Amino acid sequence: MDGGEPRRGQAYPREERRVSTIFGKIIRREIPANIVYEDDLCLAFRDVNPQAPTHVLIIPKKEIPRLADANAEDQALLGHLVLAANQVARQLGVENAYRLVVNNGAGAGQSVFHLHLHILAGRPFRWPPG
């Protein structure tokens, strides 16, 4: 069972087609967001439905739908996103205790198909995660 995930070479399910998402609109400033960090390659803004006292999303400006869609040419970009998350955590004073989450695919809870890292902090976290 593959949970509806596209196999290599298959078309994306309707909800995962490679179209610009609401995050593309945030990048293009077509809709507002509470932006906490930006550089040439990425943007970080507060999650509109926070799951922790600090909940920030880091997104690449390049529109990669899922982590599974990244490839070798994205290697430096992926490293950049993780280091940007580290920098945002420091900026927000949560560098000693934060959780970095990527939901990859609808079956794992991904709802916006523009790659994003969740930074969650400010409350206890259970393991294994729910």
State the residues that interact with ligand AMP by CB under 6 A. Answer: 22, 33, 45, 47-49, 57, 103, 109-112
Give the nearest distance from C-beta 75 to ligand AMP in angstroms: 22
118 is catalytic: no
Cis peptide before 124 (omega within 30 of 0): no
Q: What does the chain come to in residues?
A: 130
Query: Whose Cβ is closer to ligand AMP: residue 77's or residue 112's?
Result: 112
Beta carbon nearer to ligand AMP, 9 or 130: 130
What kind and span of H or E run contains 75?
helix 75-91
Q: Which of 55, 114, 116, 118 is catalytic?
A: 116
Structure tokens at 121: 């902090």
Torsion angle defined by CA atoms of residues 105, 64, 32 and 42, in that order, rounded to the nearest 10 degrees: 120
Query: Nearest distance from residue 50's CB to ligand AMP, in Å?
Result: 8
Q: Give catalytic residue positions.
A: 116
